Amino acid sequence: MNSLAEPRKWEKLFWPILASALLLALWHCSVVWTATKIFPSPRDVERGLAELLRHHVLWNDIGDSLRRVSVGFGTAALIGIPLGLVLGWYPAANQVVNPVMQILRPISPIAWIPIAIILFGVGDRAAMFLIFLGAFFPIVVACINGVSNVPSVFRRAGRNFGLTPVQLLAKVVFPAALPQILVGLRIALGIAWLVVVAAEMIAVDSGLGYLVIDSRNSGKRYDLVVAAILLIGVIGLLLDFGFRRLEKLRSVRWGFRNES
Residue pLDDT, tens place only, 179-200 = 889 999 999 999 999 999 888 8
98 domain-assigned: yes
Give per-residue pLDDT as tens, 197-224: 888 888 788 899 999 988 888 778 888 9
Q: Residue 139 has what pLDDT? A: 96
The answer to whether the beta carbons of residues 172 and 158 sit under 8 Å apart is yes
Question: Residues 92-101: what's their mean pLDDT?
Answer: 91
Within 8 A by CB and 6+ apart from 53, the residues are: 59
Residue 130 belongs to some domain of the structure: yes
**140 within 8 A of 87, measured Cβ to Cβ:** yes
Tell me if 60 is assigned to some domain: no
Q: What is the pLDDT at residue 39?
A: 86
Q: How far apart are the first and last CA of the chain?
A: 7
Residue 237's pLDDT is: 92
Chain centroid to Cα 193, Å, comes to: 5
Count of the separate structural domains present in the chain: 1
Structural domain that includes position 83: 42-49+67-253
- Compare 11 and 28 and report the one with higher pLDDT: 28
Q: How far is it, in rounded angstroms, from Cα 238 to Cα 69?
A: 14
Given a contact cutoff of 8 angstroms between Cβ atoms, the answer to whether 247 and 179 are in contact is yes
Is 5 a member of any domain? no
Q: Residue 256 — pLDDT band, cuts 50, 70, 90?
A: very low
Q: What is the CATH number of the domain that holds 146?
A: 1.10.3720.10
Is 142 part of any domain? Answer: yes
Residue range 24-72, pLDDT digits in tens: 899 889 888 988 888 898 998 899 888 888 888 889 999 999 999 999 9
What is the rounded distance in angstroms from the CA atom of residue 207 to the CA atom of residue 128?
A: 13
pLDDT (0 to 100) of residue 255: 53
| Average pLDDT over every residue of 74-78 | 96
- 120 in any annotated domain: yes
Residue 1: inside a domain, yes or no?
no
In a domain, 248, yes or no: yes
Asked whether the beta carbons of 39 and 225 are under 8 A apart, the reply is no
* Mean of pLDDT over the chain: 86
Angle subtended at Cα 253 by Cα 92 and Cα 10, rounded to the nearest 5 degrees: 140
Q: What is the pLDDT of residue 260?
A: 38
